[in-house]
Structure 1
Amino acid sequence: MDIRKIDDTLSVAPQIAYADVAEAARLGFRTLVANRPDKEEFGQPAMADIEAAARENGMTWVYMPVESGNISDADVDRFGTMIQDSDKPVLAFCRSGTRCTVLWALNAVRTAPASEVLSKANNAGYDISGLAPRMAQQAEKQ
């Protein structure tokens, strides 16, 4: 499992397996978020199985699928509210971790400088600099 810490409240990961959930719980994650639609790709683990593992390991499960390359402002709003209201730390996953990072970044720039948000994403291994125009737009929603 390739966990990448964004900040003290959120880490992201590429697709996780059923067996990874117990390890995530052992590492202290309290909420597990799936930003990947079920059956997005042939052979991906069933979300119902990962949900069951999360519940078996005492984690809160949040299924918040977002279509890759099609993140709406409503998706960003929902993600921000979920992070705010969830037991922390949160582990969010999708196919590569990028979608989760984009959701976080577009919400984070509403309260933090874009340079700080880009730096945190970059430190986690995600170059989201191409989102700068959309981040500027979201920053206006402070």
Structure 2
Amino acid sequence: MSSLVQLDEFYFVSPQIVREDLASLKAQGFEKIINNRPDGESDDQPSGESIRVAVEMLGMKYVSNPIELPKLSQTHVDVQSDALVEGEKTLSFCRTGTRSSVLWVLMKNAQGERYQELVSQVSGKGFDLSRCSAAMEPLAKT
């Protein structure tokens, strides 16, 4: 399984997961999986539907919120935010974990946290958000 990066107490991000990862994620206490990756980005990518079925068979919750950075909108941020429940351990994934991190920054920023501090925090975890800034800045609250 790909490495998990913890951004806050209950929100983790990772690169693409596969069905075989899900039992381990369940054993680690994850209750919800959020898929931020559109289907068909690469030939080796499992479909969102196959992940959803496997997630639900294990009794976890699944949310589909696929984003492409050039089309990032407030609706994407709102869907991600609405999917999060206080105290529910959640894994959000995409191809590398960057888009899932972008959404976390924008969610926390909308809740009143400072945009630049959030970007720095995520950068410190290994995600270079500089290539995402053009998509993020129109949604950032300063």
After TM superposition, the score normalised by the length of structure 2 is 0.85
Q: Give unmatched runs, 5+ long, in structure 2.
A: none
User: By how many angstroms is 1:86 displaced?
Assistant: 7.0
Residue type of the partner of 2:99?
A: R
- Aligned partner of 1:28 in structure 2 is 29
Q: 3-state DSSP class of the match of 1:15?
A: coil
Kept in 2, the 8 Å contact 1:14–1:94? The answer is yes
Give the match for residue 105 of structure 1: 105
Q: 1:139 to 1:23 in 2, by over 3 A?
A: same
Residues 133 and 30 (structure 1), Cα distance of their counterparts in 2 relative to 1, 3 Å cut: closer
- The structural deviation recorded for 1:96 is 0.6
Moved more, 98-107 or 65-74: 65-74
2:53 maps to 1:48: no
Q: 1:87 to 1:60 in 2, by over 3 A?
A: farther
Task: Give the count of matched residue pairs.
Answer: 139
Alpha-carbon RMSD? 2.2
- Report the CA distance between 1:29 and its aligned residue: 0.7
CA distance in 1, matches of 2:107, 2:141: 8
Q: Is the 8 A contact 1:30 1:87 kept in 2?
A: no
Q: Which runs of 5+ in 1 are unaligned?
A: none
Paired with 1:29 and 1:53, the residues of 2 have a C-alpha distance of: 14
Measure the CA separation in 2 of the matches of 1:13 and 1:55.
19
SS at match of 1:117: helix
Contact kept? 1:109, 1:135, Cα under 8 Å: no
In the TM superposition, 1:1-142 aligns within 5 A as 1-83=2-84, 85=85, 88-110=88-110, 111-129=112-130, 131=133, 134-135=136-137, 138-140=140-142
User: Structure 1 vs Structure 2: percent identity of aligned residues?
Assistant: 31
Could you tell me how far apart the structure 1 residues matched to 2:103 and 2:75 are?
10
Q: Secondary structure at the match of 1:104?
A: helix
In 2: Cα distance, 1:46 partner to 1:87 partner: 28
Worse overlay, 130-139 or 113-122: 130-139
Residue 132 of structure 1 deviates from its aligned partner by: 8.5
